[in-house]
Amino acid sequence: MTLSIIDSLPVVRGVLEENALLSKKSWFGVGGPAEILFIPEDIDDLVFFLRNVPDNINITILGAISNVLIRDGGIEGVVILLGEQFKKIYVEDEIIEVGAAVNCTRLATVAVDAELGNLEFLMGLPGTIGGALKMNAGCYGSEISDFLVEFEAVTTSGHIKWFTKKDIKFEYRHSGIPDDLIVTRAWFKVNSNVNYSILKKVNSIVEKRKASQPLNKRSCGSTFKNPTGKKAWELIEKAGGRGMRIGGAMVSDKHCNFIVNEGNATANDIETLGEKIAQKVLETSGIQLEWEIVRLGRR
């Protein structure tokens, strides 16, 4: 009798689920299952699990699955999703403490309601704070690292560490946060004395998103990073990519750096379309586009 991987895992207080569907959680609505899904009850549960999980088991950390394409073959090993205990927000003076599983839009909303500036650009971003820090998410001239004070993380060996902003190198759509760190909390500097209308700025950002992005379609946002001095969408349009299709995947007519699921796409449709777009851009512009969407799992 062959033992399941779950039989080798430590007993936890949180959720352990075999063959867990991830497509329903994914913003693309595609992808295979997690061999094991672990949702820790709290940070102590997470630390205990990581200290006792066998070394030969692959660990993958996911957030909102809003910037991740999970391939059709699913993800081997254990996928960790942070649960409710990692979705708390505390405001004290001009510092906001945020759990890593908090949605970026929710954080922006809390800051706006408290009449605190700096974080308006997060309104409408679909990901979590943990994921946003890992990729240094940003838009409209701001990046999340601009306002970071420090963050807490757990290593995959189960040790809690703290880092200040100066400890980590942040670049465009990239951070130097090591892959073996699971971000659990972060602290951001906000501004209670701004010289503009916070609500007006937020409303302007929301309207810009509605006008320029296919918000009514399943997508994971920008497919490719902007090359230095260039706009990825302009390169894709120049290459004739707007409206291209493979299976149920399509380059958005509204914003051609967005690939959308028209309803019946597979992860392979989306990835193949992205690769075809990148090849056309290379042929027409001589520029190699770099994926902004993270691709995980077996094809």
Give the residue extent of every domain in the chain. Answer: 9-84, 86-189, 214-296
Which pLDDT does position 124 carry in this prediction? Answer: 81
DSSP state of 192: S
Tally Cβ neighbours within 10 Å of residue 17.
14
Q: To the nearest whole number, what is the mean pLDDT of the chain? A: 95
pLDDT digits (tens, 9 = 90+) for 36-89: 999 999 999 999 999 999 999 999 999 999 999 999 999 999 999 999 999 999
Q: pLDDT digits over 152-188, tens only?
A: 999 999 999 999 999 999 999 899 999 899 999 999 9
For the stretch 214-247, pLDDT in tens is 989 999 999 999 999 999 999 999 999 999 999 9
258 pLDDT above the threshold of 50 = yes
**Residue found under tokens 């867990």:** 20
Which CATH number among 3.10.20.30, 3.40.1050.10, 1.10.10.60, 3.30.465.10 corresponds to the domain 86-189?
3.30.465.10
- Domain covering 214-296 in this structure, CATH number: 3.90.78.10
Indicate the CATH number for domain 9-84: 3.30.43.10
The confidence band for 4, taking pLDDT boundaries of 50, 70 and 90, is confident
Contact 111, 207 (CB under 8 A): no
Residue 203, pLDDT score:
92
Q: Is the pLDDT of residue 195 over 90?
A: no
State the catalytic residues: 173, 222, 292
Element (H, E) at 37: strand 34-39
Look at residue 141 in the predicted model and tell me its pLDDT. Answer: 85
Instruction: Give the whole-angstrom CA distance, residue 27 versus residue 217.
Output: 9
Q: Is the pLDDT of residue 1 over 80?
A: no
Percent of all residues in the chain with a pLDDT value above 70, rounded to a whole number: 99
Tokens 């190699």 found at: 288
With H, G, I as helix, E, B as strand and everything else as coil, classify residue 120: helix
Where residue 139 falls among pLDDT bands split at 50, 70, 90?
confident
DSSP state of 125: -
Alpha helix positions (H), the chain: 43-52, 104-113, 129-135, 198-212, 232-238, 267-285
Range 8-35 average pLDDT: 96
Q: Residue 3: pLDDT band by 50, 70, 90 thresholds?
A: low
* Of the listed ranges 2-11, 57-66, 107-116, 288-297, the one predicted with least confidence: 2-11
Separation CA 26–CA 182 (nearest Å): 20
Angle of the 104-113 helix axis to the 198-212 helix axis, nearest 10: 150
pLDDT at 125 over 60: yes
